Amino acid sequence: QVRLVDSGGGLVQAGGSLRLSCAASGLTFSTSPMGWFRQAPGKEREFVASISWMPGNTNYADSVKGRFTISRDNAKNTVYLQMNSLKPEDTAVYYCAGKRYYGGAYEYWGQGTQVTVSS
C-alpha cells in the first residue's frame, strides 16, 4: 500500500524558517508527481507547490512564490518543502500529496503536519 508520512512542522516566529519532509513508500516515486497543500481552520485546502518527475519542473502558489522551495530526492523517496520568511497567514496544516500520473488528481495523502507562525 502507498504511504506518505509528512513531518517537520512546528511553531516559529514570523520571518523564520521550517523544512517539511514527506517520506513515501509503496509508490514508484521517481516518476510520481508530488505536491504540498495546506488547510487553515475554516478554509478550503489550497495548493502550495508541486514538482514533477522532470528535473527542475516546479510550480508554486503566488502566495508562497519566492519564499518556499519544493524539492525531491528520488534516492530517498522523499519530497521537501523549504519554507522561508514565514508569515502568520502561512499557519495551516500542511499535507504532502502524490499521484501516479501527471494529468490525474492527487490520490495519496500524508496525515498532515501543523505549521504555526506567530507574530
Tens digit of each residue's pLDDT (9 = 90 or more) over 53-71: 776 799 999 999 999 999 9
DSSP string across 6-39: EE---EEETT--EEEEEEEESS-GGG--EEEEEE
Radius of gyration of the chain (CA): 13
What pLDDT is recorded for position 31? 81
Whose cell is 508527481? That residue is: 33
What pLDDT is recorded for position 55? 64
Residue 63 one-letter amino acid = S
Enumerate residue ranges in the chain where pLDDT < 70: 55
